[in-house]
């Protein structure tokens, strides 16, 4: 099964990137010593339709699977200490770590640094990727995929100056990409 990132990347690759690059090369502006090509590629409000601001997050809904916690309810035995809560100091590469992780000289063990001695761990929620909001996770994966595809074509994506909900593909115009 494809990850959300792979799904979005596959969709974004269908956008006709050779034409986007050609349009960017035809629409250039000199910025300092470099020439930047740009092409409008659509609205910023995708896929959730949310616009993020640093002062407000109330427009995001909690993940229906984890209820906003970002983790599963089920506890799993810690893979490092195998549910013991403590590890033998030989398991650790640096014996000097003993003092940091509550070394017990009588048992020659230290508190597991993965589960902090709780013996169990929670796994990251698969629906929201640990963010607590499935919408935020969808948007995050969308932007990772978009950035990945844009980089593959020698550019990057940024919002518009006049309208921050506009998305533009930008690329540095060089002799190599104009031939």
Q: Are 20 and 9 in contact (CB under 8 A)?
A: no
The answer to whether residues 44 and 87 belong to one domain is no
Alpha-carbon distance of 148 to 163, in angstroms, equals 23
7 and 60 share a domain? yes
Mean pLDDT over the full length of the chain: 85
Shared domain check, 57 and 91 = no
Which of 124, 149, 166 is a domain's end point? 124
- Which residue range forms the structural domain that includes residue 5? 1-64+133-179
* pLDDT over threshold 60, residue 97: no
pLDDT at 26 over 80: yes
Q: Domain count of the chain?
A: 2
Same domain, 9 and 53: yes
- Are residue 140 and residue 170 in the same domain, yes or no? yes
pLDDT digits (tens, 9 = 90+) for 116-127: 788 888 888 989
Instruction: Please report the pLDDT score of residue 101 as a whole number.
Output: 59
Is there a single domain that holds both residue 10 and residue 52?
A: yes
Residue that is last in its domain, among 124, 143, 167: 124
- Give dist(CA 125, CA 148) in Å, integer: 24
More confident residue, 86 or 66: 66
């Amino acid at each position: 099964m494809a990850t959300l990132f792979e799904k979005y990347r596959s969709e974004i690759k269908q956008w006709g990137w050779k034409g986007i690059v050609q349009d960017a090369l035809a629409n250039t502006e000199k910025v300092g010593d470099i020439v930047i090509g740009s092409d409008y590629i659509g609205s910023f409000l995708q896929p959730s339709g949310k616009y993020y601001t640093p002062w407000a997050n109330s427009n995001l809904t909690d993940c229906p699977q984890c209820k906003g916690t970002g983790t599963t309810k089920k506890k799993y035995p810690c893979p490092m200490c195998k549910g013991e809560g403590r590890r033998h100091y030989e398991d650790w590469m640096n014996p000097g770590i003993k003092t940091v992780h509550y070394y017990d000289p009588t048992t020659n063990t230290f508190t597991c640094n993965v589960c902090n001695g709780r013996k169990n761990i929670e796994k990251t929620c698969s629906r929201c990727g640990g963010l607590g909001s499935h919408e935020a996770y969808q948007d995050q994966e969308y932007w990772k995929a978009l950035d990945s595809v844009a980089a593959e074509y020698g550019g990057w994506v940024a919002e518009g100056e006049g309208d921050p909900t506009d998305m533009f593909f930008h690329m540095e115009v060089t002799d190599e990409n104009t031939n």
